[in-house]
Every structure is written in C-alpha cells, then in structure tokens.
Amino acid sequence: MLNDTDRKLLRILFNRNGHMNTRVMIPDLARLAQRDVGQIQKALERLQEERLIELSDKLNFIKVIPGWQSHAK
C-alpha cells in the first residue's frame, strides 16, 4: 500500500511522462507535490524498491513502469 506522498508522486510522474513526455527534476517534483526535497527522494527510493519506477542517475530521468495502476490498488 502506498502512502499519500508516494501516490501523489507516482501520479505526477505518470502524467508528465505519459501525456507531456517531459523530464521532471527533483526540485520541480517537490514544487508540484508540495513536499520537501528529502521527502521526494525517499519516496522515489520506495517507488523504485516497489518496482513502480526506474531511476536513471546518469540521465537524471525517471520512468514509470507500465502496469503500476493494478499494483498500486
């Protein structure tokens, strides 16, 4: 079960990657989710552990893995 920050972040990433096809930097995620940068980094780590997103440190890119909606319920 995902907490509020994780769900909000996943929804933002899904919308930005799927509809707008843009990269989102961590400070922008913090602004959009109205959370601290530390909270965003912890949430990204949790989402990666749950295999809902893929993080690319080299490209500073976050990719949402297809099928996350059925897993998140």
Domains of the chain: 4-66 (1.10.10.10)
pTM: 0.79
* Range 24-57 burial, b when 16+ CB lie within 10 A, else e: beeeebbebbebeeebbeebbebbeeeebbeeee
Tell me the per-residue pLDDT of 9-56, one tens digit each, with 9 for 90 and over.
Answer: 999 988 887 776 677 888 889 999 999 999 999 999 999 999 998 887
**pLDDT greater at residue 2 or residue 58:** 2
